[in-house]
Amino acid sequence: MAVDAGSKRNKMIGFATKEKLRPLLIGFGDSIFVLMSYWLAHLLRFGETRSFGDKFPLTFLAMLPLVYLSVFYFFDLYTPASRYFSLSFLTKMLFAIVGGSLGAFLFKYIFFLFPIGRGLLFLASCIIFIFAIAWRACCDRSLRYLIKPRQALVIGVGQSLAEAGAVLESNPEEFRVVGFLKQASAQPGQDQSSAPYAEIGPIQDLLLFITHYHIDLLVLATTQPLSSELINNLLIAESRGIEILDLPDIYQRLKKIIPINHIQDENWFLKSRAFYALNSPIKVRIKRFMDLFLGLLVFLLSLPLWPLIALLIKITSKGPIFYSQERIGKNETRFFIHKFRSMIEKAEADEPLWARENDRRVTAIGRNLRRFHLDELPQLWNVIKGEMSLVGPRPERPWFSEKLSTSISYYNLRLLGKPGMTGWAQINYPYAASLQDSKEKLEYDLYYLVHFNFLLDLQILIKTVQSIIFLDKISNG
């Protein structure tokens, strides 16, 4: 069935899902509760509210929720938690509220020349702590009843059915798989034994099943040509407002990857105008401005650390302070990245080796440099020069790039974008120490290149900082 890829992407964006509604709802509630908490704190502290407006001007009150929302977002408090009353979540919430309260205190003191009283600030923080946790638990429970899972019907054959079911059913609050319709197999011996749900009837009765089961999503889990009868029925279903998506669409929507096993050929990228954003003049200029501004800022702020890092490297191991290595950049251009040396001298005497999570070649000080990603600070110079970006696929070494491009389909497509110090693959799939790892990281890289925009870059940068502060594992290959 020939369905325009651009229109399918727009449909995915239009999904009214809990994933989109939840943070908006919780953020709105947080804004209200922050203001209420300061009002209640003033009432408890002073026994009246008449002077509240004098101490808290409207301009400050308008900005106050933004301070807390920014800190809450940084601490990842708009992502669903499995347990809202666990010690780890309560600790995270506590630190976030302390950060928000400190930000509010400084904001009022700097711009309004009058601080918030310590007693009032403490009371407000305690009230926000209670409200924020209760509101999140209440929202998650309410959304389960207000937004029912979408009724999905899968059309396909063989292993693709199993994959479609696994992906959809990994999101039970968003999708409910009714069953599947068997497509005629073009390959002898291909069956439905791996399908995790039941066949509900003959595919010829598609329109009847859509009405009977109240289907609002059809998933085409197949790479085989569709019959003219099926295409006609799908067009009728689409005219009735039924969403029709294929496996690449579902993977992008739910897993945030582009599944290369389900991409037939490069025509898929061409038809979907997948890399159009990479050459958008406005987006390119915004990205370059962000690279220069943030790159220079971090470079200057980190400079006092450089002599200390250099000294520690020199006194704890033999070899140079800096380590330079050739990498492949955008459009296969070659350049040298620079790092503080974190491995023993001559760590690769014979041939290039995969970097591993607990690599024995890493020195004692190098292990700590890698943990906080301080070894990558010299790469800021590559960003400032324009050889790299702050966000993008990690630049690969020529030896590995040649090997992987012959073993993994579409591997060279990652070279269409400028490489980055961090990226979508780095924050989602820490280390690539094998061919399979590289293949899975490529699926994240391709997703980033297809969906590249300023907000995604900002999200990746924030997640990277979160990972460094909370010591989550992200790769620095």
Tokens 């501004």 found at? 293
**Joined tokens for residue 403:** 């090997």
pLDDT tens per residue across span 133-178: 999 999 888 887 777 888 999 998 878 888 888 888 888 878 889 9
Residue 6 has pLDDT above 50, yes or no: no
**pLDDT for 322:** 92
pLDDT tens profile 388-412: 999 999 999 998 889 899 999 999 9
Report helix, strand or coil for 215.
Answer: coil
96: exposed, middle or buried (C-beta count within 10 Å: 0-12, 13-18, 19+)? Answer: buried
Task: Tell me the per-residue pLDDT of 344-388, one tens digit each, with 9 for 90 and over.
Answer: 876 665 566 666 666 678 888 988 898 888 999 999 999 999 999
Average pLDDT over residues 219-228: 86
Q: How confident is the model at residue 2 (pLDDT cuts 50, 70, 90)?
A: very low
Report whether pLDDT(327) > 60. yes
**Residues 255, 168: contact at Cβ < 8 Å?**
no
> Looking at residues 275-296, what average pLDDT do you find?
90
Encoding tokens for residue 73?
């977002």
Q: Could you report the per-residue pLDDT of 299-326, keeping only the tens digit for each?
A: 999 999 999 999 999 998 888 999 899 9
The label of the residue with tokens 């250099």 reads 310
Determine the straight-line distance between the first and last CA of the chain, rounded to whole angstroms: 41
Q: Is the pLDDT of residue 43 over 90?
A: yes
DSSP string, 396-447: BPHHHHHHHHHHSTTGGGGGGS--EEE-HHHHHS----SHHHHHHHHHHHHH
* 186 pLDDT above the threshold of 90: no
DSSP-derived secondary structure letter, 351: S
Q: Chain-wide mean pLDDT for the chain?
A: 86
CA 204 to chain centre: 40
Percentage of residues of the chain with pLDDT beyond 70? 89
> Is residue 239 scored above 80 in pLDDT?
yes
| Confidence band of 469 (pLDDT split at 50, 70, 90) | confident
Comparing 2 with 462, the larger pLDDT belongs to: 462
- Burial (0-12, 13-18, 19+ Cβ within 10 Å), 168: buried
Share of the chain above pLDDT 90, in %: 50
Q: What is the homologous superfamily of the domain 148-255 according to CATH? A: NAD(P)-binding Rossmann-like Domain (3.40.50.720)
Torsion of CA 453, 457, 463, 467, to 10 degrees: 140
Q: Are 276 and 248 in contact (CB under 8 A)?
A: no
Q: For residue 356, what pLDDT is reported?
A: 60
| Structure confidence by residue, pLDDT tens digits, 87-119 | 888 998 999 999 999 999 999 989 888 889 999
Q: So what's the pLDDT on residue 370?
A: 87
Distance CA 281, CA 194 (A): 47
Cβ-contact 352, 400 below 8 angstroms? yes
pLDDT at 188 over 80: no
The amino acid at residue 421 is M
Burial class of 79 by CB neighbour count within 10 A (0 to 12, 13 to 18, 19+): exposed
Q: What is the pLDDT of residue 424?
A: 95
Ranges of CATH 3.40.50.720 domains, the chain: 148-255
